[in-house]
Chains A and B, each alone.
Chain A
Amino acid sequence: MKKTPLNQVHRELGARMVDFGGWDMPVQYSGVIEEHLAVRQAAGLFDVSHMGEVEVRGANALAFIQQLTINDAAKLVDGQVQYSAICYPEGGVVDDVTLYRFNGAHFLFCVNASNIEKDFAWMQQVLRESALTDVTLTNRSAEFAQIALQGPKSVAILAELTDVSLDDLAYYHFCEGAVAGEQMIISRTGYTGEAGFELYLPASAAVAVWQKLMAAGAPHGLLPIGLGARDTLRLEKGYALYGHELSRDISPLEAGLAWITKLDKDDFVGKAALVAQKAAGVPRRRVGLVMEERGIPREGYPLFAGEREVGFVTSGTMSPTLKLGIALALVEPAAAGLDGELEVAVRNRRMRARVVRPPFVK
């Protein structure tokens, strides 16, 4: 199994480790609910070093990225981050990504851990077929560790370890600077819906920086956070997770990502299929569900409107904040109306759920 540079640290913290797409990762330390609430109320520290990083350099870097991705990368300024996605020609999703612009000839993609090899191979293929010259793709995933510091206390904690003016760093922007004496990328982004940062640093510095962040954060209530709470935190905010809300079989228009699908920009991989899908009517809609009965919707549970099966749950959990079952689901357009009632087949029973627009927790 693949290990991040922080593997031994997690074991010393008493984490329960699981196989996450071939990575030996902490699923929880003190408990999913306690960790979840720590991030909402104070702060949490996540090892996300399994995420991949692919660098794009060269005079035609932007032109290549415009062909590869569905969002409009030309809108980015230096030091800005953009949420985007990469599609197949048929309109399904290769991966959802964040894109960092250092300058017009230097970008970095952050990609999902389980998709690193697939994404990199796909990028190389798109580049070959584009016939663009002066573009260099480098898979730098193994060089980078990535630590996420998230929660309302994250600014105060990070400020103790850096001279970088964090107040000047806007949401979805980044800078390069020193934290705990180590040079790194400080990105004001995250997957929890809270204030916070994602730090991209050399793998060799990960343990020292993690320990200093933990020590600085302890008086603020910082806890280490496993993948269990990472999932409940993102789900409460309605964020998509590849392999659940997004896949080769689900288009970004279906998945609620129309806001990053820029059908009016120049040609990109998947554009024709997505334009056609929009014109014909998007066949399925991503919705949020809140249970009206005691019961927890889980991935794959079918949804019914009366006797008619209208869709399925893509991710579900008990919301630690709301103490209710919540889910993201894909349904027929007719079943996607806000405030409508659907039934979730929970084992041998049907349980009522209300259709809502995520986020579930504001």
Chain B
Amino acid sequence: MEFPEELKYTEEHEWVMVEEDLAVVGITDFAQDALGDVVFVELPEVGTVVEAGKAFGVVESVKAVSDIYAPVSGTIEEINDDLVDAPEIINTSPYEDGWMIKIRMADAADVDDLMDVEAYQALIAEES
């Protein structure tokens, strides 16, 4: 399983890539593997205000429905429309083509509350 070093992570298994005041968000390799085949993704509309720690969308596997949580607060700048027709991209490319949303951060300091890759890998080792 892969966990890129340059990303930040949440306890709910989202990843964040920070590009100045934009946060690109997806779910980790661990999360997609645990879910199994992803068959549906529900994302918020552009312009929606999201709050760190609150659910912003839903990802469904064949068997289960899971919330996805905003790692940082801000406004939805862009969503990955490709996931609507091809949600399985989340399984095949969780960190690249499978990105979900871009959040224009309200406070860049939110990023400081996220885990680095070592902390996230330690969390996974605990959970599995």
Residues in chain A within 8 A of chain B (CB atoms): 16, 27-28, 31-34, 228, 231-232, 294-296, 298, 317-318, 320, 347
Contact = CB atoms under 8 A, between A and B. Distances in A.
Contacts of A16: 36
A317 B37 CA distance: 12
Interface string B55-70: 0001011110100000
B36 A296 contact: no
A296 B60 CA distance: 8
A32 B37 contact: yes
A27 B60 contact: no
27 contacts: A27-B63, A28-B36, A31-B36, A31-B37, A32-B37, A32-B63, A33-B39, A33-B62, A34-B37, A228-B36, A228-B62, A228-B63, A231-B63, A232-B62, A294-B40, A296-B60, A296-B65, A298-B65, A317-B62, A317-B63, A318-B39, A318-B40, A318-B60, A318-B62, A320-B62, A347-B42, A347-B58
B52 interface: no
Contact of A295 (B36, B37, B40): B40
Interface of B: 36-37, 39-40, 42, 58, 60-63, 65, 84
Nearest to A32: B62
Contacts of A34: 37
With a 10 A CB-CB cut-off, give which of B40, B58, B63, B84 has the most chain A CB atoms: B63
B39 A296 contact: yes
Q: Which of A28, A318, A347 has the most CB of B within 10 A?
A: A318
A32 B60 CA distance: 13
Given A231-B63, A294-B84, A298-B65, 19 more contacts: A27-B63, A28-B36, A32-B62, A33-B37, A33-B39, A33-B62, A34-B37, A228-B36, A228-B62, A232-B62, A294-B40, A296-B40, A296-B60, A296-B65, A318-B39, A318-B60, A320-B62, A347-B42, A347-B58
A259 B48 CA distance: 52
A318 B63 CA distance: 8
Nearest to B88: A33
A129 B106 CA distance: 72
Nearest to A325: B40
A135 to B, nearest CB: 41
A295 B42 CA distance: 9
Contacts of A295: 40
Nearest to B64: A298
Point out which of A27, A32, A320 has the most chain B C-beta atoms below 10 A from its C-beta. Answer: A32
Contacts of B39: 33, 296, 318
A295 B61 CA distance: 12
A102 B60 CA distance: 45
Contacts of B60: 296, 318
